[in-house]
């Protein structure tokens, strides 16, 4: 029987709090000691990635104590309970099964009389079949012409993850003969978002994917109307241009309004849905089902690593516990995600949702108050761009902000130039290496304005190249990290009650049922 205790009730947490007071990151990362740390503090991830935490404010003693904390908090047992179908999402009384979309780690999970792994696989196969037929010209538009573009209509998890994944592999696919269709995304209820995308695409050759689990997401249904208007204006039959990704019980399922419908279910939250039909439809159409399968394989391999009870062999658990140490012992309030890869330009925005929506909670999984900090603010932009922007504050600001770097040895496109005896890719990699050491070690200077205190912690995930497998591994790493942190904080990482109040009040505004400040703001905004 698993124990769900608050973090501050754990003996090992109280021990962790006493440690690390004398640790000096700048000193530890200097000279031979620094070299030894880089060599030692590294864990293998899937798809050839490595998680290197040498520049974190930890030593063997802290890592060992975090391992004890992981044990006492029964993290791998909780993970097992999750992937074997216990009701982990206590608030909504649901299982949490996104890992099952990419592999089976434990015993069969049956819900509503259905084997869920088989259900997810069946949807993948149906999507693969549909995508193959589109690519082969067997499913075509009304004029008998091939579709060239796919447009995802969704918001939140139906947008951020799939969009980030698409952008991450777009250029890779183009140079690896896997680019099948251009993808675009409509998400915001701002009418200018849908209008701009619709003005850009060739609607006659576009398939639109309507993504809404409930079939009732207001933004998404509104944007569907935009699309239907555009199709009608072009003299086209919308039902020949749209598919739905939804739950089997939603109003969108089995409707004649769509060419076809692919299913998700209540056991996969939006922000964890990139490996479900939500990501599967758009990515399979854009790059082909084989590429989507490779992406899933990378995630599945990473999921397996997360089941290891040895903290130094479990990168997601280690990353999670170092994060807890930084948040609860060191008191840092935010974390920057800094991929040195332009293809990952929207990956920080996806992690921002994944992490902040999962762990931005102030009650535990039983709805009781807690007395410690939970999820941090997550933000980031690709390097080297960030270096010319907000890194000033990261280096010399008055708060310490832990950093998560990501870097690859090789570019995706492979086109490069040599300037001043190095390629752009070498410059990119040289910069990320330099930044880690600059943040950790700093530099003294008589002019205090040019002094760098150092002691600013970071970790880096290094890979050969951003391939579909590497992307899947990256995604699963962060999903599992967030899950483990939720377990440590004893919160429910899988609901989002904090988004409800705004929705309720917005409905009141639209119904003109407001008073006081809300009425005043409504008037100011001409509603």
Residues that are catalytic? 357, 388, 503
Give residues with Cβ within 8 angstroms of 228, minimum separation 6. 238, 242
Based on the shown chain and the rule CB under 8 A, indicate whether residue 337 belongs to the binding site for its own copies: no
Binding segment for its own copies (CB under 8 A), chosen from 13-21, 65-73, 150-158, 250-258, is 150-158
Binding segment for its own copies (CB under 8 A), chosen from 1-9, 287-295, 443-451, 477-485, is 443-451
Binders in 457-516 for its own copies, by CB under 8 A = 460, 462, 492, 495-510, 515-516
In eight-state DSSP terms, residue 452 is: B
Binding segment for its own copies (CB under 8 A), chosen from 12-20, 106-114, 157-165, 275-283, is 157-165
Binding segment for its own copies (CB under 8 A), chosen from 64-72, 282-290, 317-325, 449-457, is 449-457
Based on the shown chain and the rule CB under 8 A, indicate whether residue 50 belongs to the binding site for its own copies: yes
17 three-class SS: coil
Q: Of these, 353, 404, 480, 485, which contacts its own copies (CB under 8 A)? A: 353
Based on the shown chain and the rule CB under 8 A, indicate whether residue 360 belongs to the binding site for its own copies: yes
Residue placing its CB nearer to its own copies in the complex, 18 or 526: 526
Q: How far is the CB of 380 from its own copies (least distance, A)?
A: 9
Residue placing its CB nearer to its own copies in the complex, 120 or 405: 405
Give the separation between CA 73 and CA 226, rounded to whole angstroms. Answer: 49
Give the separation between CA 510 and CA 507, rounded to whole angstroms. Answer: 5
DSSP for 217-254 reads -HHHHHHHHHHHHHHHHTT--GGGTEEEEEETTSTTTT
Binders in 366-385 for its own copies, by CB under 8 A = 367-369, 372-375, 377-379, 381-385
Q: Of these, 190, 202, 313, 513, which contacts its own copies (CB under 8 A)? A: 190
Residue placing its CB nearer to its own copies in the complex, 119 or 340: 340
Residue placing its CB nearer to its own copies in the complex, 303 or 495: 495
Strands 50-52 and 42-44: antiparallel
Q: Of these, 31, 114, 125, 214, which contacts its own copies (CB under 8 A)? A: 31
Q: Which of 492, 483, 372 is nearest to 10 (CA)?
A: 372
Q: How far is the CB of 444 from its own copies (least distance, A)?
A: 11
Give the separation between CA 34 and CA 57, rounded to whole angstroms. Answer: 12
Tokens 């079939």 locate to: 215
Based on the shown chain and the rule CB under 8 A, indicate whether residue 239 belongs to the binding site for its own copies: no
Torsional sign, CA 240, 241, 243, 244: negative
- Region class of 167: left (phi > 0), else alpha (psi between -120 and 50), else beta: alpha
Based on the shown chain and the rule CB under 8 A, indicate whether residue 251 belongs to the binding site for its own copies: no
Based on the shown chain and the rule CB under 8 A, indicate whether residue 137 belongs to the binding site for its own copies: no
Helix (H) or strand (E) holding 352: helix 347-359
Tokens 């769900």 locate to: 4
């Amino acid at each position: 029987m698993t124990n769900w205790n608050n973090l501050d009730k754990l003996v090992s947490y109280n021990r962790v709090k006493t440690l690390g007071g004398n640790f000096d990151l700048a000193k530890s990362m200097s000279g031979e000691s620094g070299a030894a740390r880089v060599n030692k503090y590294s864990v293998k991830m899937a798809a050839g990635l490595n998680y290197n935490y040498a520049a974190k404010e930890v030593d063997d003693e802290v890592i060992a104590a975090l391992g004890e904390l992981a044990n006492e908090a029964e993290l791998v047992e909780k993970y097992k309970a999750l992937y074997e179908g216990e009701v982990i999402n206590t608030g909504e009384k649901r299982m949490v099964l996104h890992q099952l979309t990419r592999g089976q780690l434990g015993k069969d999970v049956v819900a509503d009389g259905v084997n869920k792994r088989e259900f997810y696989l069946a949807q993948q196969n149906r999507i693969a079949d549909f995508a193959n037929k589109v690519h082969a010209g067997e499913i075509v538009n009304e004029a008998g012409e091939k579709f060239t573009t796919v447009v995802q209509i969704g918001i939140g998890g139906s947008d951020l993850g799939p969009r980030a994944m698409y952008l991450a592999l777009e250029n890779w696919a183009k140079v690896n003969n896997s680019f099948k269709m251009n993808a675009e995304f409509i998400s915001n209820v701002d009418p200018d978002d849908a209008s701009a995308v619709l003005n850009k695409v060739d609607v006659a050759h576009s398939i639109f994917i309507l993504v809404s689990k409930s079939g009732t997401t207001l933004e998404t249904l509104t944007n569907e109307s935009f699309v239907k208007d555009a199709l009608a204006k072009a003299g086209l039959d919308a039902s020949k241009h749209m598919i739905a990704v939804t739950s089997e019980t939603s109003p969108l399922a089995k409707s004649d309004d769509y060419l076809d419908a692919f299913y998700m279910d209540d056991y996969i939250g939006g922000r964890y849905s990139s490996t479900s039909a939500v990501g599967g439809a758009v990515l399979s159409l854009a790059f082909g089902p084989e590429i989507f399968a490779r992406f899933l394989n990378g995630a599945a391999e990473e999921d397996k690593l997360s089941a290891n009870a040895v903290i130094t062999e479990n990168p997601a658990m280690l990353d999670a516990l170092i994060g807890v140490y930084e948040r609860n012992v060191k008191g840092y309030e935010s974390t920057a995600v800094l991929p040195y890869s332009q293809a990952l330009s929207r990956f920080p925005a996806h992690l921002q949702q994944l992490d902040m929506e999962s762990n931005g909670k102030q009650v535990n999984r039983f709805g009781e108050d807690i007395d410690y900090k939970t999820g941090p603010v997550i933000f980031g932009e690709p390097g080297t761009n960030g270096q010319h922007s907000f890194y000033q504050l990261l280096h010399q600001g008055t708060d310490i902000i832990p950093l998560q770097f990501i870097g690859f040895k090789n570019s995706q496109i492979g086109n490069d130039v040599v300037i001043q005896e190095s390629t752009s890719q070498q410059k990119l990699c040289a910069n990320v290496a330099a930044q880690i050491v600059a943040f950790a070690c700093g530099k003294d200077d008589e002019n205090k304005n040019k002094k760098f205190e150092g002691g600013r912690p970071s970790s880096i995930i290094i890979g050969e190249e951003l391939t579909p497998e590497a992307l899947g591994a990256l995604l699963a790493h962060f999903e599992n990290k967030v899950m483990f942190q939720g377990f440590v904080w004893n919160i429910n990482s899988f609901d989002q009650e904090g988004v409800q109040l705004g929705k309720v009040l917005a409905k009141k505004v639209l119904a003109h049922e407001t008073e006081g400040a809300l009425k005043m703001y409504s008037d100011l905004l001409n509603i």
